[in-house]
Amino acid sequence: MAGPLSAQDFMSFSRPPQRPQGHGVLDMTNPGGVGGDQMSFLQQLFMNPTNAEGQGGGINFDGLSAIASGIGSLGNIYNSFQQNKLARDSFNFTKDSYNTNLANQTQTYNTSLEDRIRSRYNTENRDAGAADEYLAAHKL
């Protein structure tokens, strides 16, 4: 017999065994990180921590939660790009509408000014050339 177990022996039971470094993300033996604190994808998915009764194994729902959170983050990034495109399209539409409205208002003002000045100059029996000069100086 080896004798009674020390406190060091009990501490080693609660830690996962040290595994050699793997090379892939899906490698079960890859502890990841410099100190081996990070778990690989498959470890997060299938290595359920041991509970108080000493039962373990099965699917690690904490790992699934982390994976689902990562997928959700990717979805949020995609949605933000779509919202950015919609906002840009909305801005361009509003800008085009504004420019069209401005051009129409300018044309309406110039037409109204020309009608008013020509009728005034005609009523006062002034020269049409003077009306043209006034319109050239005051139209938008």
3-state secondary structure 38-106: CCCHHHHHHCCCCCCCCCCCCCCHHHHHHHHHHHHHHHHHHHHHHHHHHHHHHHHHHHHHHHHHHHHHH
Residue type, 85: K
Determine the pLDDT at residue 25.
46
- Give per-residue pLDDT as tens, 10-69: 555 555 555 555 544 444 454 555 455 555 666 656 665 555 555 555 666 677 788 888
Handedness of CA 57, 58, 64, 65 (dihedral sign): negative
Determine the pLDDT at residue 67.
83
- Give per-residue pLDDT as tens, 73-119: 999 999 999 999 999 999 999 999 999 999 999 999 999 999 999 99
Neighbours of 72 (CB within 10 A): 10
Residue 1 binned pLDDT confidence (cut-offs 50, 70, 90): very low
Tokens of 91: 């801005």
Average pLDDT over residues 112-135: 93
Domain residues of the chain, as ranges? 1-68, 77-140
